[in-house]
Structure 1
Amino acid sequence: MTSARRILIDAESTPFYHIINRCVRRAFLCGEDKLTGKSYEHRRGWIVDKVKALSAIFCIDVCAYAVMNNHYHLVLKIDTDKAKSLSNHEVISRWCKVTKGHDVATKYMNGETLIEGERLLLDGLLAEWHERLSSISWFMRCLNEEIARRANREDGCKGAFWEGRFKSQALLDEQALLACMMYVDLNPIRAGIANTLQASDYTSIQERINELNTPDKDTKPNDESELTSSERLKPLAQFDGAAHLATQSGVPFHFCDYLQLINWTGRAIRPDKKGFIDSSRPKLLDELGISSDAWITSAKEFRRQYSGISGRWDAMCAFKRQHHCGQWSKGKASSNALHPWP
């Protein structure tokens, strides 16, 4: 039985979430249709640009992404500190970039005097919009509706474009976050459509590596004509090297350590590479106490190892109890392998 989104996503429990969405039709989300010869590659750029544009509006950071032929992955972080700091003007300004807003909000922004009924209405709107600006559900709604409309216009058809509502996984600790980001970034390698990280098109790891090579290059949309003047592209969440998920400034690892680990892992999951594992383990695995075998398995199977929650087993059970969605969780063996210390 499916669970309500308010149960599956709770910023107080963890700000990090893995999001997956899949296309419903035989026609590709991206890639090339071998039956017709038509290419849909340009739609990858639609998704990446829209994700970054929405990230600049919502209080949500993008930690990792991978856009595949018929689905995409995101690792998102809810920036609760930013959400709390928004003023009324910022809330209205941001929300009106994704909807037409409300006449009362327009009067307020223009400095016009509001009567008592209008003030009460505005207070209700502000509370509602403020909450939505840190909502992954609303973030995904704005993303998927835009992509579906554009794809339907291009295909000359109507109807559902996505197979259903997006799927989400709560990432409760550092091991879960690291394994999930690695799983997302290595999607093209694992699928056999790319041989190197640099060749893994439309992934966050390719973008981060390109930024290292061209640090002064401004981030630009893949098709600037498709973005309005109000949409700017927000950079990916930065690696801040902090030691715990509770820090709100970024991804809690050093990028140099992450890059070493993903390079090592990418070689390990390629079946055509022999003698690929160096005798020296990546630093992050030692710091988190994860065995090499458990890590490689996680990099290959993370999405299937868990259902809606990933983390230490006792934390997963506590999350389920706290949100009144049963006590059973998928992934006990996988969790214990990834979290060997009590």
Structure 2
Amino acid sequence: MTTARSQLICPEATPYYHCVSRCVRRSFLCGYDEQTQTSYEHRRAWVERRLMQIADAFCVDVCAYAIMSNHYHLVLHINQEKAQKLSDEAVIQRWITFHRTPVLIHRFLKQELASESEKVSCQKLIQTWRTRLCSISWFMRLLNQYIATEANLEDGCTGHFWEGRFKSQALLDEQALAAALAYVDLNPVRAGIADTPESSAYTSVKARLQPDQKHHTFKRVLYPFTGHPRNDRPAGLPFRLMDYLELLDWTSRQIRENKPGHIPPAFPTILTRLGFESQFWLETCQNIEKGTLVGSKTAIRTALPYLNRRRRTGLTLSPS
């Protein structure tokens, strides 16, 4: 049975979510199809460009992404505080970037609303848009509908392109967030199509590290790493970028199939701070997609009332 999205996504439980969309047809989203000798590699740029356009307008931050041959991964952050601070005019401009402008809104922008009922109706519409601007469901809808339309047009066919609804996982604590970020950024390494994280095309880690103008635009949109939580910390991911890159580099060396299974005694300090044993961290990074809730037992138990759920199911990251 399909789980209601309200039981999967709730900003009061956590603002962080790991989302995955997969193609329903055998034909590729991106990459090269050996059977038909057709390259779909250019579609990776479609997804990346559209992703950044939506993130630039929405109050949903992109923390990590990886665009693979028949699916893509995102780690998203719901930024309700940002949405509430937007002026009515800013909400309108962001929303009509992707939608037609109603006549009522045209009149509002020209200050031509005559009656009180028109003003009330206009405010209701703007409030609806403000809510949608921090909705992961609307974010994913705009991304998937666009890619499906473009791919179907190119393939000369109709019908479903995506495998039903996108999958989402609530990331309930720092452990879950770090594991999901690493899992997404290391997807090409795990799939054997990249040797190192920084050489993984169409991933957030490469976008963060590349100095060229195209990736500079992406870096501006990506949710920043701002370091350990503290009172004066600006909004961003609660890790230092250098610590995270060290963690990615270390992890990528362990999960490669051609590498021995021995775990070296020295591992990144970020794992110590997060309370991970090295072997448990590696197991987590390779199994993060299990369940819809990811976090410690305590974090999962705390989140259940917000999601209107009773059973404690998901991927438990620690015994606490």
Bin of the TM-score, shorter chain as denominator length: over 0.9
**TM-fit CA distance, 1:180:** 0.5
Q: Structure 1 residue 318 and structure 2 residue 302: aligned?
A: yes
**TM-fit CA distance, 1:123:** 1.6
SS at match of 1:82: helix
Q: CA 1:330 to 1:11, structure 2 compared with 1: closer, same or farther past 3 Å?
A: closer
Instruction: Report the counterpart of residue 227 of structure 1 in structure 2.
Output: none
Q: 2:283 & 2:104 partners in 1: Cα distance?
A: 54
**TM-fit CA distance, 1:291:** 0.2
Alignment of structure 1 residues 180-195 onto 2, 5 Å: 180-195=180-195
**TM-fit CA distance, 1:220:** 7.0
Q: What amino acid does structure 1 have at the position aligned with 2:274?
A: L
Instruction: Report the counterpart of residue 339 of structure 1 in structure 2.
Output: 318
Instruction: Report the counterpart of residue 262 of structure 1 in structure 2.
Output: 248
Q: 1:150 & 1:218 partners in 2: Cα distance?
A: 22
Preserved CA contact (<8 Å) 1:107 1:114: no
SS at match of 1:321: coil
TM-score (norm 1): 0.88
Gaps of 5+ in 1: 222-231
Instruction: Report the counterpart of residue 89 of structure 2 in structure 1.
Output: 89
Q: What amino acid does structure 2 have at the position aligned with 1:143?
A: L
Q: 2:135 & 2:114 partners in 1: Cα distance?
A: 29
Preserved CA contact (<8 Å) 1:49 1:233: no
Preserved CA contact (<8 Å) 1:15 1:79: yes
RMSD: 2.1
Q: 2:168 & 2:195 partners in 1: Cα distance?
A: 28
Q: 1:281 & 1:339 partners in 2: Cα distance?
A: 18
Instruction: Report the counterpart of residue 178 of structure 1 in structure 2.
Output: 178
**TM-fit CA distance, 1:233:** 8.7
Q: 2:309 & 2:263 partners in 1: Cα distance?
A: 41
Moved more, 59-68 or 199-208: 199-208
Q: 1:291 aligns with which of 242, 257, 277?
A: 277
Q: CA 1:275 to 1:120, structure 2 compared with 1: closer, same or farther past 3 Å?
A: closer
**TM-fit CA distance, 1:299:** 1.2
Preserved CA contact (<8 Å) 1:317 1:329: no
Gaps of 5+ in 2: none
Q: 2:70 & 2:214 partners in 1: Cα distance?
A: 29
Q: 2:5 & 2:256 partners in 1: Cα distance?
A: 36
Alignment of structure 1 residues 20-59 onto 2, 5 Å: 20-59=20-59
| Aligned length, in residue pairs | 320
Instruction: Report the counterpart of residue 78 of structure 2 in structure 1.
Output: 78
Q: 1:183 & 1:219 partners in 2: Cα distance?
A: 21
Preserved CA contact (<8 Å) 2:13 2:307: no
| 1:69-123 deviation digits (Å, cap 9, x = unpaired) | 1000000011121111011111111111111031111111122233222112102
Q: CA 1:276 to 1:263, structure 2 compared with 1: closer, same or farther past 3 Å?
A: farther
Preserved CA contact (<8 Å) 1:16 1:75: yes
**TM-fit CA distance, 1:29:** 0.6
Preserved CA contact (<8 Å) 1:173 1:311: yes
| 1:176-202 deviation digits (Å, cap 9, x = unpaired) | 000000011111111111111232111
**TM-fit CA distance, 1:298:** 0.9
Preserved CA contact (<8 Å) 1:53 1:233: no
Q: CA 1:297 to 1:233, structure 2 compared with 1: closer, same or farther past 3 Å?
A: closer
Instruction: Report the counterpart of residue 226 of structure 1 in structure 2.
Output: none
Preserved CA contact (<8 Å) 1:53 1:234: no
Preserved CA contact (<8 Å) 2:65 2:184: yes
Q: CA 1:198 to 1:324, structure 2 compared with 1: closer, same or farther past 3 Å?
A: closer
Q: CA 1:276 to 1:217, structure 2 compared with 1: closer, same or farther past 3 Å?
A: farther
**TM-fit CA distance, 1:328:** 3.4
Q: CA 1:118 to 1:233, structure 2 compared with 1: closer, same or farther past 3 Å?
A: farther
Q: Structure 1 residue 243 and structure 2 residue 222: aligned?
A: no
Q: 2:165 & 2:297 partners in 1: Cα distance?
A: 27
Moved more, 313-322 or 10-19: 313-322
**TM-fit CA distance, 1:326:** 2.8
Q: 2:120 & 2:248 partners in 1: Cα distance?
A: 52
TM-score (norm 2): 0.94
| 1:182-234 deviation digits (Å, cap 9, x = unpaired) | 01111111111111123211111111222xxx2x735478xxxxxxxxxx995
Q: 2:209 & 2:220 partners in 1: Cα distance?
A: 17
**TM-fit CA distance, 1:170:** 0.6
